[in-house]
């Protein structure tokens, strides 16, 4: 009896370890739901359509199609950018999808999907005087608006800008603050900035003509321990890139542009 009890205990522990290795994917399949963090405030990546009042956007629609091919439903949880990676790390969500740039530092802590968007950095400034900014060195002392943990705020800090941090604010709030002088500059992604300006033509702001920097690629973020989830997500995204589905979604949200292709621009070091 003692021998049987010991064997049973050993078998129980072994089974527990096996389950731990695939718990996340097993739970997702069992529930039939993929929990995804997104902001709901970042046009055109994740926002609410004014007519339908439904959550949509480039990455939102990519996630929906990806989940469909995985036979899963999607439960979007709206979280500010600075809280998304924490939510992935803690297991609160399975994936974060919000135009998140792939960086070496983040790759040390998280798993990224296959890149689904290529772009580069630009700067929104006031149209009449470019907010007094000619080069990156002129950022010193300027008020830079953005999210605390974004790569763009890292650049602003590097050049001595003063941080103006927002908690999941809309594009309009960011842009109007530059327009009225509550902030001086927004460093961010070219495609996002271009479309944001088109949405608010009445504002006296523009994209800086000379500041083009940091070619980037963006993907979805997952916990490194969720290996089966990573494998399945990448498998479907590769399929969607190959059959042109993501390019079609890109054209819908980025005014015909295909963000799955790397931009042909000579960037200054």
pLDDT value at residue 265: 79
CB distance 79 to 116 below 8 Å: no
Q: Report pTM.
A: 0.78
pLDDT value at residue 100: 95
The series of mean pLDDT values per 10 residues for the chain, 269 residues long, is 36 40 82 97 93 97 98 97 92 96 94 97 97 97 92 95 88 93 96 91 96 94 96 98 98 96 77
- Separation CA 95–CA 93 (nearest Å): 6
The span from the first CA to the last CA of the chain, in angstroms, equals 72
CB distance 118 to 242 below 8 Å: no
The torsion of the CA quartet 205, 207, 208, 214, rounded to 10 degrees, works out to: 140
- Separation CA 183–CA 59 (nearest Å): 28
| Helices and strands, counts by H and E, the chain | 9, 13
> Please, what's the b/e burial string for 132-155 (b: 16 or more CB within 10 A of its CB; e: otherwise)?
ebeebebbeebbbbbbebbbbbeb
- Domains by residue range for the chain, with CATH: 19-116+219-253 (3.40.190.10), 118-215 (3.40.190.10)
The torsion of the CA quartet 222, 223, 225, 227, rounded to 10 degrees, works out to: 0
CA atoms 46, 91, 85, 248: torsion sign: negative
Q: Which two tokens stand for residue 146?
A: 């953005």
- Separation CA 258–CA 37 (nearest Å): 24
pLDDT value at residue 23: 67
Model confidence pLDDT, tens digit, residues 9-43: 333 333 334 444 556 899 999 999 999 999 999 88
């Amino acid at each position: 009896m003692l021998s049987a009890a010991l064997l049973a205990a050993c078998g129980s522990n072994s089974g527990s370890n096996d389950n731990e290795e695939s718990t996340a994917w097993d739970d997702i399949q069992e529930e039939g739901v993929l929990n995804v963090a997104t902001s709901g405030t970042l046009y055109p990546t994740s926002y609410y359509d004014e007519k339908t009042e439904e959550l949509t956007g480039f990455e939102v629609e990519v996630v929906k199609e990806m989940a469909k091919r995985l036979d899963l439903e999607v439960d979007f949880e709206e979280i500010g950018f600075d809280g998304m990676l924490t939510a992935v790390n803690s297991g609160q969500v399975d994936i974060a999808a919000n135009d998140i740039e792939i960086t070496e530092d983040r790759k040390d802590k998280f798993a990224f999907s296959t890149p689904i968007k290529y772009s580069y950095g630009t700067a929104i400034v006031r149209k009449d005087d470019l907010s007094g900014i000619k080069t990156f060195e002129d950022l010193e002392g300027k008020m830079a608006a953005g999210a605390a943990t974004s790569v763009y705020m890292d650049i602003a800090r590097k050049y001595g800008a003063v941080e103006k941090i927002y908690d999941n604010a809309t594009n309009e709030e960011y842009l109007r603050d530059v327009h009225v002088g509550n902030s001086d500059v927004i460093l961010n992604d070219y495609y996002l900035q271009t479309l944001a300006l088109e949405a608010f033509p009445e504002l006296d702001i523009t994209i800086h003509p000379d500041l083009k920097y940091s070619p980037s690629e963006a993907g979805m973020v997952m916990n490194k321990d969720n290996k089966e989830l990573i494998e399945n997500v990448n498998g479907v995204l590769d399929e969607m890139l190959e059959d042109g589905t993501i390019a079609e979604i890109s054209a819908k949200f980025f005014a015909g542009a295909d963000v799955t292709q790397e931009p042909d621009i000579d960037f200054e070091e």
